[in-house]
Amino acid sequence: MTHHLSLLSRTRVWKLITVVSVSLFCAALAGPVRAEDKKKDDKLDKKAVEICKKAGDLYKGAKTFHADGSIDAKIEGNGQQIEINATIVFDFERPNRLDIKVRVKSDPQEGFDFISDGKKLTTYRKKIEQYVQEDAPKDVGGLGMALMKLGPRTPGILLPNVLNADPGPSLLDGVNSCSYVGIEKVDGTPAHHMKFSQDQFDWEMWVAVEGKPFIVRMTRSAEIPGGGKLNTNEIYKNWTIDAAAGKDAFTFSPPKDAKKVDDFTDAN
């Protein structure tokens, strides 16, 4: 049975998403594989590792990138099933300009804008008509870290990893084993399908076969403390690299009724 999300349920889902997002992203801070972890190399499929490296190098070398996407999450446990579905549009320009817009499909008012114009970083929540501003991070890695600080509203696992000084190692750090599955289509695009496992959860990634190695899909599956399972699915399309961003990207003009605050007044 699928239940409509209450505010509490929606918040619970996003918090669980954040736990596994942080786990994958923070692994990137551990650095390259250590000598004592050498045995793990035997469990890392060379083709999967090479594809991750190529995808990471694409984003590492990009002056700008853009994509449209969707993020779907499902939590199952105690005989219940809760779902949340959101859309995401983002633009990035080096060294530190970023524009992310996330909207929940069942309630377009629910979601957020996360915008760095290079000097100020703004997080705006339309639902409560409030925004917070702070000094913008100086580089791409700082933007990735700032994105993680959103907590329950962190949009998936792709962005925190490609917003990284070296996305290839970011994707692979913390991975205990990986395998290459084969070529499958994602929204009509042939893509390399790979599976990864690490201590906290399992995840999968699809990278375009033809043209540039864009990441077109990511999924993950995590056990929930106390019982149950969280599954998320991210799909990305309309990728562009080194193209000019839209004229309205990286700018924030406060809506008439929006209020600037030091912190949002609700915890959801």
Domain locations in the chain as residue ranges: 2-28+40-86+158-249
**pLDDT band for position 184 (cuts 50, 70, 90):** very high
pTM of the model: 0.85
φ/ψ bin of 228: left (φ > 0), alpha (ψ from -120 to 50), beta (otherwise): left
CA dist 197 and 95 (Å) reads 32
7: Cβ contacts below 8 Å, ≥ 6 apart:
268
- Band of the pLDDT at 78, cuts 50, 70, 90? confident
Q: What is the mean pLDDT of the chain?
A: 85
Identify the residue with better confidence: 153 or 243: 243
> Of 45, 39, 14, 37, nearest to 174 (Cα)?
37
**Helix/strand/coil (H/E/C) assignment for every residue in 206-256:** EEECCCCCCEEEEEEEEECCCCCEEEEEEEEEEEEECCCCCCCCCCCCCCC
Query: Which pLDDT belongs to residue 111?
Result: 87
CATH class of 2-28+40-86+158-249: mainly beta
Output the pLDDT for position 148: 84
State residue 29's pLDDT score.
43
User: How far is the C-alpha of 259 from the C-alpha of 265, rounded, in Å?
Assistant: 11
Asked if 125 and 260 count as a contact pair (C-beta separation under 8 A), the reply is: no
